[in-house]
Amino acid sequence: MSWLIQEKKNAWREPTGKKKEVVQRDTPELFRESYPYSEPPRVRFDHKTVPMDPPEQIYITSTTFRDGQQARPPYTVEQTVELFKLEHKLSGPKGIIRKTEFFLYSEKDREAVRKCQELGVEFPKVTGWIRANPSDFKLVQGMGLKETGMLTSISDYHIYKKFKKTRQQVIDDFLKVVDAALADGLEIRCHFEDITRADFYGCVVPFAQILMERSKEAKIPITIRICDTMGYGVPYPGAALPRSVPKLVYGLHHDAGVPKEQLEWHGHNDFYKVLINASTAWLYGCMYANGTLLGYGERTGNTPLESLVFEYAGLRGTLDGMDTTAIHEIVDYFESEIGEDIPGNKPFVGENFNTTRAGIHADGLIKNEEIYNIFDTTKILKHPPGISITDKSGLAGVAYWISAYLGDKLGEVGKKDPRVHKVAQWVQDQYDAGRTTAISKKEMMEIVKKEF
């Protein structure tokens, strides 16, 4: 462990539940030891751990129609409604996909919200998203929504460098809109933007404690959305704040007094940790994990909803009624109606996610599909395992391909069949002549027709 970067400051304090005061500073806390900017960010360790403390129930929430539209062309009203219907189908009868949020700024945004409301489904619950200013709050009132997210940026990068204010001034501004929303009987989600670069005990916890006081007085829940806006969060035990996902969740619950059912994780994939961070948040006390269909979102994207579905099943031991065949329909809709080109190797949704090119794998598939398939993808995702023919496919790969595509006409074809040998030799000849691309289905059909 000698090569691990040791945290010099005693950043983590055992939660006490005592009231914290906002720490005022003349200059921003930018955590340059972790974020030098001129170099990749560093993971620092204080070697202090917190226990896993998951809620009794966990849920998924969607930002497909908010963050999910910030890195792609916006959806039409019709597309939004159809995708919302598919989220509802995927959610299942227990409403595991609990909420979905919408922009409210344009008339098109508001029309999409109205159309989704008219469907009359309980889950996902239709919610809004606004900036923390009074004019935006009027949009929520006008739509008759019962809940809205509210942007409450919490790091000094935003407070000092974007807003050009002090911590207390920014918090006071946020609270004006929070109080107005509570007075109107509205449930609020405060989106703690950029929390993985924020002063946890100097700003995050004091603000969260104030919000919990307001929530108790109004008898209206205020959810804290823990926003890993830049994807800096890490799941490692013993990692130091502000990057430690376990300590962020555990501290908000045990020190700021935020109930587990009022904690939600929202991550980005800048450092390839978007799913493991969401799972870690669940395990350490967060009831909700937020994501988008196919992971579309700002920059590198958000946690894919479909990955959260299978992570939920793995952690809970059940799908709890979620209809995973809807994922197949979602993929079809994105490709055929929206014109999206989904990467072929994208887990669960790519055309080739369960397609093998290796002959040794194909040989295993012939003998027993379970050897080289992650689960029954035909039953669960309507996507049977496949084989793509290259110079690595060998006799087993060719035989499996023929049986998979033409088994109804030719019956099961084995790798000892002399006709298979001829097809495999033709394939090899292609690559000996300098070919670098996979053999297409059309080409395979032609050569199989010739030899069979």
pLDDT at 15: 73
| Rounded Cα gap, residues 226 and 431, in angstroms | 51
pLDDT tier, 252 (very low <50, low <70, confident <90, very high otherwise) = very high
pLDDT tier, 1 (very low <50, low <70, confident <90, very high otherwise) = low
Query: Which of 15-19, 363-367, 381-385 is predicted least confidently?
Result: 363-367
299-357 residue pLDDT tens: 999 999 999 999 999 999 999 999 999 999 999 999 999 999 999 999 999 988 887 76
- CB neighbour class for 32 (10 Å; exposed up to 12, middle 13-18, buried from 19): exposed
Is a pLDDT exceeding 70 seen at residue 361? no
Q: Average pLDDT, stretch 263-276?
A: 98
pLDDT tier, 230 (very low <50, low <70, confident <90, very high otherwise) = very high
Q: Virtual CA dihedral for 311, 262, 65, 278, nearest 10 degrees?
A: -30
- CB neighbour class for 45 (10 Å; exposed up to 12, middle 13-18, buried from 19): middle
In the block, tokens 């809970």 appear at 316
Q: Which long-range contacts (CB under 8 A, 24 or more apart) does 74-77 make?
A: 74/108, 75/112, 75/338, 76/108, 77/108, 77/111, 77/112, 77/115
Cα three-residue angle 384-388-390, rounded to 5 degrees: 165
| Rounded Cα gap, residues 115 and 107, in angstroms | 12
| Rounded Cα gap, residues 434 and 158, in angstroms | 55
43-55 residue pLDDT tens: 999 999 999 999 9
147-164 residue pLDDT tens: 999 999 999 999 999 999
| Residues 250, 235 contacting (CB under 8 angstroms) | no
Kindly list the domain boundaries of the chain, sorted by start residue.
Answer: 16-336, 355-451
pLDDT at 362: 64
Task: Kindly report the number of other CB atoms within 10 A of residue 367's CB atom.
Answer: 12
- Ranges of beta strands (E only) in 89-179 are 97-102, 125-131, 147-151
In the block, tokens 């403390």 appear at 53
Q: Virtual CA dihedral for 273, 223, 298, 300, nearest 10 degrees?
A: 0
Packing angle, helices 245-254 and 205-218, rounded to 10: 40
pLDDT at 18: 83
pLDDT at 135: 83
367-378 residue pLDDT tens: 778 888 889 998
177-217 residue pLDDT tens: 999 999 999 999 999 999 999 999 999 999 999 999 999 99
**Residue 125: strand pairing partners:** 99
Is a pLDDT exceeding 70 seen at residue 360? no
pLDDT at 4: 85
pLDDT above 90 covers a percentage of the chain that reads 76
pLDDT at 268: 98
Q: Virtual CA dihedral for 280, 209, 135, 28, nearest 10 degrees?
A: -80
pLDDT at 366: 65
pLDDT at 351: 87
**Residue 264: strand pairing partners:** 225, 288
- C-alpha 381 chain-centroid distance: 19
**Residue 151: strand pairing partners:** 131, 191
In the block, tokens 């992650």 appear at 374
Q: Which of the listed CATH numbers 3.40.50.620, 3.40.50.20, 1.10.10.60, 3.20.20.70 matches domain 16-336?
A: 3.20.20.70
Task: Kindly report the number of other CB atoms within 10 A of residue 169's CB atom.
Answer: 13
pLDDT at 359: 63
**Residue 268: strand pairing partners:** 302
- And the tokens for 196? 């993985």
- Which residues, 6+ apart, have CB-to-CB distance to 364 below 8 Å? 371, 372
Residue 14, helix vs strand vs coil: coil
Q: What rounded mean pLDDT belongs to the chain?
A: 93
pLDDT tier, 411 (very low <50, low <70, confident <90, very high otherwise) = confident
- C-alpha 414 chain-centroid distance: 42
pLDDT at 403: 82
Phi first, then psi, for residue 439 (nearest 5°) are -75, 130
Is a pLDDT exceeding 60 seen at residue 10? no
| Rounded Cα gap, residues 10 and 28, in angstroms | 19
Element (H, E) at 174: helix 167-183
- Which residues, 6+ apart, have CB-to-CB distance to 341 below 8 Å? 335
Q: Average pLDDT, stretch 416-445?
A: 90
pLDDT tier, 447 (very low <50, low <70, confident <90, very high otherwise) = very high
Is a pLDDT exceeding 80 seen at residue 8? no
20-38 residue pLDDT tens: 899 999 999 999 999 999 9
